[in-house]
Every structure is written in structure tokens, then in C-alpha cells.
Amino acid sequence: MVMLVDTHSHLDMLKEISIEEALQAAKEAGVEKILNPTAYAGDLEKVCELAEKYENIYGMLGVHPSEIDGWSDDLLDKIRELAKSDKIVAIGEIGLDYHWDKSNIELQKEIFIKQLKLANELGLPVSVHERDAHKDCFDILKQHNKGAKIVLHCFSGSAEFARECLKEGWYIALGGVVTFKNAPKTKEVAKVVPLDRLLVETDAPYLAPTPFRGSENQPAYVRLVAEEIARLKEVSFEEVAIATTNNATKIFNL
């Protein structure tokens, strides 16, 4: 069986199934490895513990832009120390989110830059969360990133914006949204991004793909994402699986 990598799955947030059940279902669907990002500062240790406990789980450390209340620069030292583990493979998810709250934009930018600089210091790739902040995110990455591999998680921009990001050498990750009937923009992105720059993810427990839309997402469903991308690109599922797995292996040093 051709294997897949779910490059963004909040395993620690699953509620309807246990992590063991999720891992078993993923294995049966051909999902070989799962990357578990941090969203909340209070979950940094939990993400590390899961990565250490399970062979096929890897961790990413960072604070989500919507969860920066109470930020302290001491967290940078904490992430730096925890990232010494071989099972921590990226800084993430970090970035900008203007969808829910625009009152703290400057603070979001400041914290994003600090975490991005830490990724560069540690030589780790970055999983970037960006929502309704295309230009600011692009500008910060272009100005402050000094060589870290960049993955634009759950990419929500247009095909034109994707092309601009590709010019910078960044990678595009697509999840369940690509399967939605009302997501023509994301489907177009899937068509234009070359396979050697594409990743697949679930963002579980959020954004479950069709036909599970509205229910809790899980890593096994990343197969449905890859199948839809194959349909859109008019290539075989195996081609998508091999390419995206090779990309993930290279980017995250799995």
C-alpha cells in the first residue's frame, strides 16, 4: 500500500475517538506518519509527550495567533528546550489570523516574527497559519525568514497567491476544504500547485472532508484529500501519495 503523511493533525484535541483508535484507523487507511502541531502555549509539553510515546507521531511547537493572550517571551526559551527532541520536527503552528480578532494585529505580527526567528535559529521548518492576512503574512515571511522551509498550512488563498508563494520556494498544504463543492478557489489551487510543492493534511478535528463534513475529522481522512487532489490534477492517487510523502519526508526530516 502506498503510504501517506498527515502533515497537520491536532491529535490532542480529538474528542470522539481515542488517539489509539485514530492511529489504528489511520494505519488501515495507509497513513504512515502524523504531525501534531501545538496551538496553545499550555499544550507544548503534551505535544512533546505524544510524540515521544508514539513512534509514528511527530510534534510541532508554537503558539497559534489566536491564542496569544498571556504571551511571554519566556515561551521562546521553553520551545527552544523542548525542541531538542528528535521527535520535534517543526515550529508551528504560527502566523496571523485576522478573521476573528483585528484588535491585536501588531502583537500577532510581533509574536509571529519572534517564533519565525526561533525556527531559523533552530534550523527547523515552519507550519504557517494564515487567515485573512495574506499580504502581511507574505511580507513577514519574505523579510524575516532566513532559510527555513515554509509550509502554508490549510492554504486559503487564490491560485494567483499560491503562485507568488511558490516563487518564494514555499510549500502549499491542502486539507478537507479541497473536497467541498463550494470551494472552487481551493480546487483551482490544487490544480496549479506542482506535486513537488504540495502536502496533504487534515487539520483534525476540524474541516472534515466530504462525505464526513460537519463531523469530527481524523488522520485517516487525509486519504480522501489525496484522492480528490488526484482527481483534480488528473493523475493517479499513487502519484499524489508518493509525491506528498516524499515532500513531507524531505521538509520535516522524517
Q: How far is CA 130 from the centre of its chain?
A: 11
What is the per-residue pLDDT for 218? 98
Question: In angstroms, what CA-CA distances link 37 with 32, 185, 188?
Answer: 17, 25, 26
Confirm if 44 and 78 have CB atoms less than 8 A apart.
yes
CB-CB neighbours of 217 under 10 Å: 26
Share of the chain above pLDDT 70, in %: 100
Would you tell me how many other CB atoms lie within 10 Å of the CB of residue 131? 16
Residue position matching grid coordinates 490549510 = 154
* pLDDT mean over 236-245: 98
pLDDT at 46: 97
Q: Three cell numbers at 125?
A: 521548518
Supply the DSSP symbol for 21: H
What burial class does residue 27 get, using C-beta atoms within 10 Å of its C-beta: 0-12 exposed, 13-18 middle, 19+ buried?
A: middle
CA–CA dist 227, 238 (Å, integer): 9
CA torsion sign for 237, 239, 243, 245 is positive
In angstroms and rounded to an integer, the radius of gyration of the C-alpha atoms of the chain is: 17
- pLDDT exceeds 80 at position 1: no
Return the residue matching grid coordinates 488522520: 219
Name the region of 233 (left: φ>0; alpha: ψ -120 to 50; beta: rest): alpha
C-alpha cell at 39: 496551538
Tell me the per-residue pLDDT of 184-239, one tens digit each, with 9 for 90 and over: 999 999 999 999 999 999 999 999 999 999 999 999 999 999 999 999 999 999 99
Residue 101 has pLDDT above 90, yes or no: no
Write out the residue range of the structural domain in which residue 100 sits. 4-252
Total number of domains in the chain: 1
Domain holding 191: CATH number? 3.20.20.140
